[in-house]
Amino acid sequence: MKAITRSWDWHSVYPAPAKLNLFLHVVGRRADGYHLLQTVFRLVDHGDALRFSSRADGDVRLATPLPGVAPESDLTVRAARLLQRETGCRQGVEIAVDKRLPMGGGLGGGSSDAATVLLALNHLWQLGLPRQRLQQIGLTLGADVPVFVGGRNAFAEGVGEALQPLDLPPAWYVVLEPPVAVPTAAIFGAPELVRDTPAMLAADWAPGVGSNDLQAVAVARFPVVADYLHWLAAYGDARMSGSGACVFAEFSHQQAAQAVVSALPATMVGWVAAGLERHPLCALAE
């Protein structure tokens, strides 16, 4: 382990940053129904925070269950139990999540939480699994989990698991949270969704290239998303992240981004976050 990992222990607060999809194209569909995508994942300095407490009984408990979500179905619990099964680990854990990212927001909150569980417990339980193995385990939990475990901004293909790390320029983002949870399955299952956008080479992508093929479907079904996009478009290139509902715009300077959030109507929720070069827990896996 690198020396930096010694600063992470059972008393630490482990971050689970959000992601933004700088573009998202649906380029096909597999025989099993899964959609083939191309996207760029950008990690940002805003997200959930997790704490872990050791349990001697080998059980996995969630101290902060989400309303309407059974603990057994929560991605954090599933990630910890899957890690136990994959390694034969008999240690237990209680997980507490400070949930700051909205559900159904397209920011990868649940997937990021699961990735943080895998990275943190691999370290705390001293399991020693390499990053690639953690990514394979994470993929069984969700297509977005591997990019968070990978710890780098990335050009992604396949169902989102084939990752090519990207070095992205510094940037600041205004992210707005429409008051609606958009169900991913409903967007991908929409008959009007464009599923044949021509694929591009990763080398041909540059910031600003591409769009979000899911945006038109989400806007038609959830008009409030359109309202938030319209408001933000007055200040920059407003786009939806993932399958929605959250929308964002990129800025070169923090002051410009802060000025936009300062202009938000009292009825809207939004925040500013810096783009990250790496996941804060990147050093916990090799």
Q: For the chain, what is the domain count?
A: 1
CATH number at residue 94: 3.30.230.10
The values of phi and psi at residue 3, to 5°, are -60, -30
Rounded CA gap, 160 and 25, in Å? 11
Question: Looking at the annotation, which residues are catalytic?
Answer: 19, 144
In the predicted model, what is the mean pLDDT of the chain?
95
Q: Closest Cα to residue 171, out of 106, 236, 107?
A: 236
pLDDT of residue 161: 86
H or E element that contains 173: strand 172-176
Q: Over the stretch 111-166, which tens digit does the pLDDT of each residue have?
A: 999 999 999 999 999 999 999 999 999 999 999 999 999 999 999 999 888 999 99
Q: Is the pLDDT of residue 3 over 60?
A: no
Q: Over the stretch 231-281, which tens digit does the pLDDT of each residue have?
A: 999 999 999 999 999 999 999 999 999 999 999 999 999 999 999 999 999
Helix orientation angle between 131-139 and 109-124, rounded to the nearest 10 degrees = 140
Confidence band, pLDDT 50/70/90 cuts, at residue 6: low
Question: Which residue range(s) make up the domain with 163?
Answer: 1-286
Give 152's strand partners. 278
pLDDT of residue 1: 30
